[in-house]
A and B are shown apart, each in its own frame.
Chain A
Amino acid sequence: MKFYIRMWWLFTRAALRTQLADSANAVLWASATLLGMLLEWATLWALFARFGSIPGWDFASSSMLFGLVRIAFGIAEMIGRGFDRFHHVIRKGDFDRMLLRPIPVAIQLSVAEFSRFGMIGAGAVAFIYGCSAAHVVFNIGTIAYLIAVISGGAALFYGLLMMQATLCFWTVDGIEVANAVVYGGQTAAQLPLDKLSRPLTFVFTYIFPLAIINWIPARALLSGDFNALALAAPVIGWLFFALGALVWKIGVRAYTSTGS
Chain B
Amino acid sequence: MNTTGIDVQAVSRSYRRTSGSLFQRKTTTVHALHDVSFQIPGGALIGCIGPNGAGKSTLVKILCGILKPDSGTVNVNGREPFSQRQEHVRHIGVVFGQRTQLWWDLPVSDTFELLRALYQVPGHRFDARQKLLVDRLGIGEILNQRVRELSLGQRMRCELAAALLHEPDVVFLDEPTIGLDAEAKLAVRELLRWLQQTGDVTTILTTHDLQDIEAVADRVLVFGSGSILLNGSLGDLRTAFGNTKVIRIATDSPASHPAAHLAKAIGNEQTFTFDPAQISAADLLAAFAAQAVIHDVEITDQSIDEVVARMYQHHRGVQS
Contacts and interface: CB of A to CB of B under 8 A. Distances in A.
A10 B106 CA distance: 13
A27 B13 CA distance: 50
Contacts of A99: 64-66, 85, 89
A11 B111 CA distance: 10
Contacts of B90: 102
A91 to B, nearest CB: 12
Contact of A14 (B13, B16, B114): B114
A53 interface: no
Nearest to B115: A101
A140 B118 CA distance: 39
Nearest to B82: A256
A247 interface: no
A257 B85 CA distance: 12
Interface stretch (B97-105, B229-237, B302-310): B97-105
Contacts of B106: 14, 17-18
A1 interface: no
Contacts of A51: none
A3 B118 CA distance: 9
Given A96-B61, A97-B99, A259 B67 contact: yes
Given A18-B106, A21-B105, A100-B94, A256 B118 contact: no
Nearest to A95: B66
Nearest to B111: A14
A3 B89 contact: no
Q: Looking at chain A's contact residues, is the secondary structure mostly helix, strand, loop, or mixed?
A: helix
Given A14-B103, A17-B106, A101-B89, A259 B68 contact: yes
Contacts of B13: 259
Interface in B267-316: none
Given A257-B68, A259-B68, A94 B99 contact: yes
A100 B64 contact: yes
Interface string A6-27: 1100110010011001000000
Interface string B61-76: 1001111100000000
A97 B101 contact: yes
Interface in B80-138: 82, 85-87, 89-90, 92, 94, 96, 99, 101, 103, 105-106, 110, 114, 117-120
B70 to A, nearest CB: 9
Contacts of A97: 96, 99, 101
B114 A102 contact: no
A3 B66 contact: no
Nearest to B67: A259
B61 A3 contact: no
B66 A100 contact: yes
A21 B146 CA distance: 12
B38 interface: no
B118 A103 contact: yes
Nearest to B17: A260
A10 B68 contact: no
Given A99-B64, A100-B94, 14 more contacts: A7-B118, A10-B117, A11-B114, A14-B110, A96-B61, A99-B85, A100-B64, A100-B92, A102-B89, A103-B86, A103-B118, A256-B68, A258-B15, A259-B13
21 contacts: A3-B120, A7-B117, A7-B118, A17-B106, A92-B99, A96-B61, A97-B96, A99-B65, A99-B66, A99-B85, A99-B89, A100-B89, A101-B89, A102-B86, A102-B87, A102-B89, A102-B119, A104-B86, A256-B66, A256-B67, A259-B67
Interface of B: 13, 15-16, 61, 64-68, 82, 85-87, 89-90, 92, 94, 96, 99, 101, 103, 105-106, 110, 114, 117-120
- List 9 tightest A-B contacts by C-beta distance, closest first: A18-B105, A99-B66, A102-B90, A257-B68, A259-B67, A102-B89, A100-B89, A100-B94, A10-B117
